[in-house]
Structure 1
């Protein structure tokens, strides 16, 4: 991709099963960077205290399924950590651990579990195992393939299901989506999905299906990203701006990306970290502590960041969060869904804005505690970091529909 070019995607509409939808990603290209520069660009790892967390847990023993465009396991950062997987885009035939021309699934895998080898991208859970499940090209969200892919993933040992994609929430597909999600939950898995990048409250599948952990995005300041979709179904938020990955057409180069896709990958990786430290916990317990320790500034839940921005360091370094009942899904309980479970709504009281002392550079609060929702202070300007030292202010408010969107060309 050429420097400073951005790909924004529009939600796709479809009828009678012929659905086309955009992946929950906007791709921003940064100047071509040398590989040894990547770790310094992963600002969110520093803000989330990743180096300290990795002394406690690294995601080892946890398989994360990437339901996406495939994963290129030939990259140095992914060698030895990607399972063969399955290609449901071709009816379930063929491996997908070495193919991904769109690079979307590959970048999600890097964000989750990249090793940082050869100076490349390091994931939030660098020792997690990736199970690639191909369900279509970047701009073609095949629902049938996705249903099959999710079921395949949980049947093959994936404890975390990452769906950084989405499609329109059409009523005729609701029942099938619920069956798929219920199957995954009964198998003891967590399903994370991106809320979308339209800066709208329009629901999408699978993010808006009860039981799915719908993830929104926050920017480098910890504020809600201007593109992040919102709604009452939103469960958590995570960093989703200036996330390094491989360029689409030239995988030897690095491009910065943004979107709820990246935020979902970071949330999934955070779950893998916590689970690897507490392998005896159930999915319900992992999710509960994530919800309880999420950072926020206002009322909870918020339609913009749900229960807050993920803060796995609170669990791993501070020992915070009560895992609670292993058999009660806290998200379903809070939504009033399930077999009469008592709602386990975490942190229901408003929290005051953090003081300057706990929002300094490198502090986890820099991301998590400053996730102010638009109705709690407005959308702030966000910044894109260009190169190693220059910081360029790129965009402010975007007004309604009809906004110019630029397609990118890879470097």
Structure 2
């Protein structure tokens, strides 16, 4: 798994010790300007967050953030973070302590539930600022003497973390970390959480312009795999593609609260997109608390901004870009309460093989470890092995970075028209920059 990077804009390369996070760019403090932090959050404007917040803020919904820890003292997260669980027992602190310098878990929590309280009310906002965050800290991915051992340690903790989240009231489970291998324990934990009534969203990965090998748990049956789109609402170059992708959300140049010196970051990655998908589910569930996980997901899929060429889905954005505003306005029939709406889980349960081979057809997004081809059918397995870069002794999970080499592009669809859910950003009043902003890095 690669951790090499090209520089973009003012971003600096993430330290090689920051492992296990699906980020494509390191964090920086936004430069001083006449804009507020909220005005820099372009994705909230495109999703018309203020309009949605008149109907729902995600209140009453708990979102588990399985990550590097969540700092409850971050001003934009004060009052949002619950007691949780720490599986990174070899690290100082607990689930309220980030072991990575960027505070990745804090950043994901902020994209979901930040309240904008920082800088005198001019801080960053999450898409579901009324939701609560259940922090669950995983061990560093570099633990272990080799990649196999690191994968084992990661997946053992992930399986426990998913079960813990389901047992402690998390309707939505956000996993913005990944491994190259799945395990029966993780697959069983996913089924357990679904049976308990939770929804699980996970990052598809950020090596779309590299080897594009499937990552888990996004490719685990029963998990909603999330890809990233940019400001043009097309798949970003780094966002991984394939049958494991179920939906997409904004994931480029995301300004949000995080760890680090400034408490603010600008990042790009499918991690960020996953947080917005999780927040979207929280917004819908808050308004329809009696719905099951299957019904919430079905409405998300039914109201999604899908491909515009008539295809049911494609490998770039799955069934389309999540549109919670449409789901809140006109959810339609949520359908049966006890039927999971994506086909991969039923196919996995019906298969006699523990590792069913997914279909490569655009209309069949089954997930499994055997997927190693690009959209043109070219095998990326050999290239993927050649592209893996070892960092230290072991890297079961590593930071995703952009690289200059680009594989064949999947078919990219135009995003639906503005009236379907994403409109132009509203005109917002100008204001002075919040205090303490400069051009230094976090």
Matches within 5 A, 1:127-206: 127-137=130-140, 142-169=154-181, 173-199=182-208, 200-206=211-217
In structure 2, C-alpha distance between the alignment counterparts of 1:266 and 1:29, rounded to whole Å: 18
For structure 1, the residue ranges without an aligned partner over 5 or more in a row are 13-19, 341-346, 368-387, 389-408
Two-structure CA RMSD over aligned residues (Å): 3.5
TM-score (ref. length: structure 2): 0.71
Q: What is the match of residue 42 of structure 2?
A: 43
CA distance in 1, matches of 2:421, 2:195: 37
1:95 is displaced (CA, Å) by: 4.3
CA deviations on 1:308-361 (whole Å, 9 max, x unpaired) are: 0100011112x1342100000001368645579xxxxxx99xxx9678xx449x
Residues 8-407 of structure 1 aligned to structure 2 (within 5 Å)? 22-30=20-28, 32-33=30-31, 37-90=36-89, 95-99=94-98, 101-102=100-101, 103-118=103-118, 119-137=122-140, 142-169=154-181, 173-199=182-208, 200-246=211-257, 248-250=259-261, 252-296=262-306, 297-298=308-309, 299-317=311-329, 319-332=330-343, 336-338=347-349, 358-359=417-418, 364=422
Moved over 6 A (4+): 91-94, 138-141
Shift of the 194–93 alpha-carbon distance from structure 1 to 2, 3 Å rule, reads same
Q: Relative contact order: is structure 1 or structure 2 higher (C-alpha 8 Å, sep ≥ 6)? A: 2
- Structure 1: distance between partners of 2:268 and 2:141: 15
Query: Bigger CA drift: 23-32 or 203-212?
Result: 23-32
1:149 is displaced (CA, Å) by 1.1
Deviation track 1:198-248 (CA, whole Å, cap 9, x = no partner) reads: 014411111101110000000011000110011112111000001113465
Aligned residues: 349
Relative to the length of structure 1, the TM-score reads 0.76
Change (3 A) 1:161 1:224: same
Match of 1:381 in 2: none
Distance change >3 Å, CA 34–CA 109, structure 1 → 2: farther
Preserved contact between residue 246 and residue 317 of structure 2 (Cα < 8 Å): yes
Classify 1:242/1:321 alpha carbon distance in 2 versus 1 (closer, same or farther; 3 Å).
farther
The equivalent residue for 1:394 is: none
Q: Which runs of 5+ in 2 are unaligned?
A: 1-6, 144-150, 352-362, 365-412, 426-432, 434-439
Query: For 2:231 and 2:286, how far apart are their aligned partners in 1?
Result: 27
Aligned mates of 1:32, 1:236 — CA distance in 2: 29
Offset from partner CA, 1:373-392 (integer Å, 9 cap, x none): xxxxxxxxxxxxxxx9xxxx
Q: Give the whole-Å Cα distance in 1 for the aligned partners of 2:337 and 2:322.
A: 20
**Alignment partners' CA distance in 2, 1:308 and 1:365:** 16
